[in-house]
Amino acid sequence: MQQATNTILMIRPAAFRLNEETAVNNYYQTTSEVLKNKDSNKLAQQEFDDLVQKLKDAGIDVVIFNDDGSLDTPDSIFPNNWVSFHENGDVA
């Protein structure tokens, strides 16, 4: 089986912000008086695009999935389920 260790999957944010539901018990999520939700998403998209470019410049293939902005998924850039890509093109 051929490995694809030079390829990563990233999810481009569409509605990134503090997740009110998980922030109550997640030490790393804090509210910001400075950033509003739309500003958080815009900043996250810029950081995402900058990182993708740096990875590509380093020779890493980046597969990008665009988040669906119509859904309320503030932390969807952090996929929490496993995924595997197979040599024959199957994705599980």
List the helix and strand counts (H, then E) for the chain.
2, 2
Higher pLDDT, 32 or 18: 18
If you average pLDDT over residues 6-22, what whole number do you get? 86
Instruction: Give yes or no for residue 46 having a pLDDT over 90.
Output: yes
Predicted TM-score (pTM) of this structure:
0.75
Mean pLDDT, rounded, for 18-38: 75
Query: Could you give the residue ranges of the DSSP H alpha helices within the chain?
Result: 20-23, 37-57
The residue extents of the domains of the chain are 7-66
